[in-house]
Amino acid sequence: MIATTQQNMTTELDLGSSDGPPRNWKGIGIAMVVILAVMSLVILSVVILTPDESHLLLRSHLTMEELESDEFKAHDPCAAWLNNNEVALRTREGHVLTFTLKNNLTTTLLDNSSLDLTSAKFQVSADKRFVLLAYNIRPVFSQSFTASYAIYSVANGDLLELSPLERETTELQYASWGPQGNQLAFVFDGDIYYKPNAASNPLRLTSTDEDQKVVNGLSDWTYEEEVLLTYAAHWWSMDGARLAYLRINNSATPVMEIPHFLGGLYPSNMIFPYPKAGSSIPSVSLFVVNLYGPAHTLEMLPPDSLRARENYISMVSWISSTRLSVRWLNRAQNQSVLCVCEATTGACSEKHKMAMDIMQNQRQDVPLFTSDGSMFYTILPAKQGARGEFHHIAGLTVQPATPSVPPRFLTSGSWDVTLLCALDENAGKIYFLSTEESRESRHLYSVDLNGVFQRHCISCDLIDGCGFFKAVFSPNQTHFILYCLGPGIPKVTVHSTRDPSSKY
């Protein structure tokens, strides 16, 4: 019986392992064809829709020169005010034009068809008779450069090389027109030269020995990068009769040597004065030279509290044809002294002293003085309750105020005024930049001089894609050049203060 049972189980197992129903080879074939068709369509779509990048492979390695070329930059017209009603600008093709706001008339001063000046810098003289061109520009630091200069005559198209008498052609450190006619000044080998007009011989205003580490009218590395934040360190009076300038002496300043990459296989070494903690800093003096008549130079003396100590000059600005405002800083840069200096005598009187927080970087503030010089407006820290201190516009009298008379603040809030742009006494307004919209923005505002907190945002919703602005006002504050600096595409427009929404 046991043998019979095992035989039956074996028979059943054999039956279970027998072949099943025949496979559907036709269905399997159709499925495979469909899968292959879908995969072919996908591959074909990828091939068709993928752009041809063969031309990109040929230019996959970009050089710094290519990245700095005009092809990768938004066009900057280099707009500048010539007077209350005219703006000088440059087209993308290099033509220099003047634009008259009153009648929307454009005049060509320099036609670039026969000249290659797209990489040159330009300045138009106050009388519009000449254009100063800087070419063969060689950068030094972030803003400084050397260049060859030529004076272009609008009347006949002649070019006159600008150079000292002892040189026919040379590279200059800087050159600029004065505010009247076609007077100009330039700096060569650390000395300032003056030309009463474009055709006259240059007069040497300063004299420095070649062995001395002294520069007149320009910033050294320390002042360009850390103090003034500009290359030029000279300032014309409004009538062009006087020129104020810094004399920076680095004789006792230690030097630094760094590699300078200029496009070659190996860098060249650059040596320049570089003060470190505990070492000597550049000594600085402020002079004013009288340009009309025999040249006469006076030094503007610092206040007594800083005269015997190391100090910086962080701001110089003319108030009138004979008076200028000067800000001195102590070496630690935590004490600021604002003075008004008389250009005719060299005497400087202290008007405002304040403790500074160097991290707030408020030392570049240029105060705005009223026309009679009796009052000025500046940016000062103001407590905003438990929110802490923020920087706002304050009005102060020129006479030294007693501690019991606080400044009168024109703005208030949990945001900072970052720059004073213009004072329009006729309209009773101050124009300024602030972070009121957001910490990442810089919008242009106006505030009423008589009514506290009556603010108006001028640039808000004025240009799409822009939240960071800079403004330069005409001499009579009726118009302003508005620079959109981002985050959208940079652009430059001209507006009227009466109707900012209209653009020229």
> Is the separation of the CB atoms in 318 and 235 below 8 Å?
yes
> Is the separation of the CB atoms in 356 and 365 below 8 Å?
no
Dihedral of CA atoms 168, 173, 178, 182 in degrees, nearest 10, equals: 20
Lowest mean pLDDT among 22-36, 54-68, 384-398: 54-68
pLDDT at 33 over 90: no
Q: What is the share, in percent, of the chain residues with pLDDT greater than 70?
A: 88
The tens digit of pLDDT for each residue in 296-326 reads: 899 999 888 778 789 999 999 999 999 999 9
How does residue 418 score in pLDDT terms, banded at 50, 70 and 90?
Answer: very high
H/E element, 6? helix 2-16
How does residue 61 score in pLDDT terms, banded at 50, 70 and 90?
Answer: confident
H/E element, 162? strand 159-162
Q: Which residues of 46-64 are buried (b: 16+ CB within 10 A; e: fewer)?
A: eeeeeeeeeeeeeeeeeee
- Of the segments 1-10, 165-174, 319-328, which one has the largest average pLDDT value? 319-328
Question: What's the distance, Cα to Cα, between the start and end of the chain in Å?
Answer: 116
pLDDT at 331 over 60: yes
Sorted by sequence, the CB contacts under 8 Å of residue 194 that are 6+ apart come out as 183, 184, 185, 202, 203, 205, 243, 291, 295
The tens digit of pLDDT for each residue in 205-252 reads: 999 876 678 999 999 999 999 999 999 999 999 999 999 999 999 999
Q: What is the share, in percent, of the chain residues with pLDDT greater than 90?
A: 59
Higher pLDDT, 358 or 66: 66
Point out which residues pair with 318 in neighbouring strands: 324
Read off the DSSP letter of residue 9: H
pLDDT at 451 over 70: no
List the Cα angle 232/234/235 in 5-degree steps.
Answer: 120
The tens digit of pLDDT for each residue in 94-134 reads: 899 999 999 999 999 999 887 776 678 999 999 999 999 99
pLDDT at 347 over 80: yes
Sorted by sequence, the CB contacts under 8 Å of residue 465 that are 6+ apart come out as 484, 487, 488, 489
Task: Return d(Cα 385, Cα 90) in angstroms, integer.
Answer: 49
H/E element, 33? helix 25-49
Q: What would the two tokens of residue 198 be?
A: 């474009």
Beta strands per DSSP E along 306-388: 311-318, 323-330, 335-342, 348-355, 368-369, 375-383
Task: Return d(Cα 18, Cα 13) in angstroms, integer.
Answer: 9
Amino acid 1: pLDDT = 42
Amino acid 53: pLDDT = 57
pLDDT at 3 over 60: no
pLDDT at 22 over 80: no
The tens digit of pLDDT for each residue in 253-279 reads: 999 998 877 777 888 888 889 999 889
Q: Concatenated DSSP letters for 254-280?
A: -EEEEEE--SSSSPEEEEEE---TTSP
How does residue 171 score in pLDDT terms, banded at 50, 70 and 90?
Answer: very high
Amino acid 73: pLDDT = 78
pLDDT at 70 over 60: yes
Beta 184-188 vs 80-81: how paired, if at all?
A: unpaired
Q: What would the two tokens of residue 443 be?
A: 């919008």
Amino acid 13: pLDDT = 38
How does residue 19 score in pLDDT terms, banded at 50, 70 and 90?
Answer: low
Amino acid 6: pLDDT = 43
How does residue 467 score in pLDDT terms, banded at 50, 70 and 90?
Answer: very high
List the Cα angle 420/341/253 in 5-degree steps.
Answer: 85
Average pLDDT, the chain: 86
Amino acid 114: pLDDT = 75
Beta 389-397 vs 105-110: how paired, if at all?
A: unpaired
Higher pLDDT, 445 or 306: 445
